[in-house]
Structure formats: C-alpha cells, structure tokens
C-alpha cells in the first residue's frame, strides 16, 4: 500500500468534500470568515478559483484518498498559503507532511495568517520554516522566505 502523500490540482468533482471540510466547526473557527458557506456560494467560489490565475487549489491525497487541501493566493511579494486537513484525517501528522512537502517544492516567498488559538497550525507552519512577523487583532502573520 502506498502511503506517500502527493498533491494534485483540485477540480469541480472536489466540490462536495471541499464544502464539507470548509463548514466543519474547527475549520470555521480557524477561518477569518467563520460563517457557514452555502452550496451555491461555494460552487460559484470554486468555479471562479479554478479559473483564476491568482489562485491555486490543490488536494493532498494518501493512497488515492483526499486528506487535505492547500490553497495559494497571489500577493505582490509572494503567495499566501492556507490549508485544511480533512476532519477524519486530523491528528495523524498530515498537516505537517503537507506543509513540509509543499514548502520544499515551492521557490516563492510564502505568507500565512493563523489565529492565535490555532496552536496546531502555528506548530506546523514553524516546523515548515515559517517565522512570525507580526500580530494584529488575534491573527499571527507568518512568512517563509524563498531560499
Ligand atoms: C490545524 C490542522 C491543519 C492540523 O492538522 P493535523 O493534520 O491534525 O495536524 P498534525 O497531526 O500534523 O499535528 C501538528 C501538531 O499540532 C498538534 N495538534 C494537532 N491538533 C491540535 C489541537 N487541536 N490543539 C493543539 N495541538 C494540536 C499535534 O499534536 C502536532 O504537534 P506535536 O507534533 O508536537 O504532537 C487541522 O486541525 C485543520 O485542518 N484544522 C481546521 C483548519 C485550519 O485550522 N486551517 C489552518 C488555518 S491557518
């Protein structure tokens, strides 16, 4: 059995699982916008994200099963990174593997915004080489400079 983690680009067939993960309580608590997302809004957002040259959306898979997602949003000086692990796959080191792998394969400056209460994400970001730059209104601003 191949337990290696790999990334593939997201597509419209991922809509259901991405919405499930997005509306999960812990994901909402970790997000800047904490409300539930409705199906129609989600489909509109996903379609536009997949067609945008300002965003990239990836699904992480282990053994051909989706275990998480990473999104990048273009910024003037680099990419803002955000991530979610599938609720059923949490607590198994997946976030750590996803971030480490993604950062290793990326040669751009990366940014991440993590809420103060989100200790797990702070740990994985720091272990992937992000350093804390600033704190504003309960949000930690991290950066990982390109080598
Ligand atoms: C935060 C999240 C990404 C962590 O994913 P995960 O795969 O469960 O994390 P890992 O198993 O790689 O654990 C990483 C570290 O965080 C710790 N951790 C995991 N869940 C934790 C929790 N709820 N509280 C405190 N620490 C936690 C782990 O113990 C591990 O630390 P250790 O190696 O010192 O034991 C996942 O819970 C998630 O998707 N949450 C909702 C979305 C989110 O927070 N996205 C990030 C927005 S910036």
Phi, psi for 136 (deg, rounded to 5): -140, 125
Mean pLDDT of 101-108: 93
pLDDT at 119: 97
Lookup: tokens for 86: 């599938």
Q: Is the pLDDT of residue 128 over 80?
A: yes
Mean pLDDT of 81-89: 97
Superfamily of domain 5-144: Gcn5-related N-acetyltransferase (GNAT) (3.40.630.30)
Mean pLDDT of 69-96: 96
Residue nearest to atom 34 of ligand 1 (CA): 123
pLDDT at 146: 83
Q: Is the pLDDT of residue 66 over 70?
A: yes
pLDDT at 3: 76
Q: Is the CB of 81 under 6 A from ligand 1?
A: no
Q: Is the CB of 84 under 6 A from ligand 1?
A: yes
Mean pLDDT of 1-23: 93
Q: Is the pLDDT of residue 1 over 90?
A: no
Residue nearest to atom 44 of ligand 1 (CA): 30
Mean pLDDT of 113-128: 97
Domain ranges in the chain?
A: 5-144
Q: Is the CB of 101 under 6 A from ligand 1?
A: no
Per residue in 15-64, pLDDT tens? 999 999 999 999 999 998 899 999 999 999 999 999 999 999 999 999 99
pLDDT at 2: 61
């Amino acid at each position: 059995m191949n337990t290696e983690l790999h990334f593939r680009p997201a597509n419209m067939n991922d809509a259901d699982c991405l919405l499930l993960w997005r509306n999960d309580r812990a994901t909402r608590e970790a997000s800047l916008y904490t409300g539930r997302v409705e199906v129609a809004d989600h489909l509109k957002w996903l379609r536009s994200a997949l067609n945008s040259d300002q965003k990239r959306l990836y699904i992480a898979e282990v053994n051909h099963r989706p275990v998480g997602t990473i999104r990048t949003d273009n910024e003037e000086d680099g990419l803002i990174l955000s991530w979610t692990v599938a609720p059923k796959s949490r607590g198994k080191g997946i976030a750590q593997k996803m971030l480490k792998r993604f950062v290793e394969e990326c040669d751009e400056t990366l940014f991440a915004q993590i809420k103060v209460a989100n200790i797990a994400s702070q740990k994985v970001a720091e272990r992937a080489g992000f350093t804390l730059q600033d704190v504003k209104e309960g949000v930690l601003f991290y950066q990982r400079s390109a080598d």
